[in-house]
């Protein structure tokens, strides 16, 4: 970063662990300041923020439950206050990474209305209204990255509701690209494949048979590592990707090609 250049600021939801943690750190390594959210584990969030500070960036970890739609307006006010107090008086952000989510395999026959409300609230409704609020405080030339899932293209039994919500987000992301393009704001989706994290109850990490199946169908011959995904988020938030918008990037290492 050139001397005197203003550091850009990214908001990363679910940035305390797994893929979100690596996204936050990857952006910090690229010279950005990061405001990350956590839901229940404050210690994890603070540890990531401290690691970012160790890299020379400014950081803050805020509790935020994406399922609580009524809390989004208050969260936005908190973001404004934290920017003012802890990010050199900043008033606006540059990037939003919609990463936070929940995962669980539920066969269609066993779906309940409560399941639907949880998944749709976190993976679609919450994403829509958080994005709306963050776009109002985003600098021109910024961007939004929606983390979706390869499962919305490859049908995995048990993940129909999860994948359907992610598919809805991908449509919404294209509309964000269209409506905010005149401001130079780009909007893209990133669809990871199999990664051995604790997401969805560590379904992949704790299942050697599932790992073997995924690896056998992956051109690169391995599961993804968090940095494989975090590095792509960093790319999407860089000037190198300034002409990329309204696109879906599938990050699977060549699964089922």
Q: How many CB atoms lie within 10 A of CB 118?
A: 15
pLDDT digits 0-9 by tens, 20-55: 999 999 999 999 999 999 999 999 999 999 999 999
pLDDT tens per residue, range 79-94 = 999 999 999 999 999 9
pLDDT, averaged across the chain: 91
- Could you tell me the pTM of the whole model? 0.92
Q: How confident is the model at residue 204 (pLDDT cuts 50, 70, 90)?
A: low
- pLDDT, tens digit (0-9, with 9 covering 90-100), for 231-252: 999 999 999 999 999 999 999 8
Determine the 3-state secondary structure of 133 from DSSP. helix
Query: What is the predicted pLDDT for the residue at 208?
Result: 78
- CATH number for the region 9-251 comes to 3.40.50.720
Measured N-to-C along each axis, helices 18-29 and 226-236 cross at an angle, to the nearest 10 degrees, of 50
Domain segments of the chain as ranges: 9-251
The helix/strand/coil state of 13 is: coil
**Phi-psi sector, 255: left (phi>0), alpha (psi -120 to 50), beta:** beta
What pLDDT was estimated at residue 257? 81
Confidence at 196, pLDDT banded by 50, 70, 90: low
- CA-CA distance, 111 to 129, in Å (whole number)? 25
Is the pLDDT assigned to residue 119 strictly greater than 70? yes
Most confident of 161-165, 195-199, 204-208: 161-165
């Amino acid at each position: 970063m050139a001397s005197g250049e203003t550091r850009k600021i990214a908001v990363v939801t679910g940035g305390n662990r797994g893929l979100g943690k690596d996204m936050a750190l990857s952006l910090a390594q690229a010279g950005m300041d990061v405001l990350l959210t956590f839901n229940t584990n404050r210690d994890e969030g603070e540890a990531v923020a401290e690691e970012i500070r160790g890299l020379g960036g400014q950081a803050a970890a805020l509790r935020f439950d994406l399922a609580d739609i009524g809390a989004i307006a208050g969260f936005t006010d908190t973001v404004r206050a934290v920017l003012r107090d802890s990010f050199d008086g900043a008033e606006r952000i540059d990037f939003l990474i919609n990463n936070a989510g929940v995962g669980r395999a539920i066969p269609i026959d066993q779906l309940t209305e409560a399941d639907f409300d949880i998944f749709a609230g976190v993976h679609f409704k919450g994403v829509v209204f958080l994005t709306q609020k963050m776009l109002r405080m985003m600098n021109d030339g910024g961007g939004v990255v929606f983390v979706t899932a390869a499962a919305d293209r490859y049908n995995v039994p048990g993940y129909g509701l999860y994948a359907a919500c992610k598919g809805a987000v991908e449509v919404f992301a294209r509309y964000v690209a269209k409506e905010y393009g005149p401001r130079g704001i780009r909007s893209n989706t990133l669809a990871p494949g199999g990664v051995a994290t604790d997401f969805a109850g560590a379904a992949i990490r704790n299942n050697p048979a599932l790992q073997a199946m995924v690896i056998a169908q992956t051109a690169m011959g391995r599961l993804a590592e968090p940095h494989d995904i975090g590095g792509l988020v960093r790319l999407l938030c860089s000037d190198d990707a300034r002409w990329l918008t309204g696109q879906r990037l599938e990050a699977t290492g060549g699964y089922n090609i």
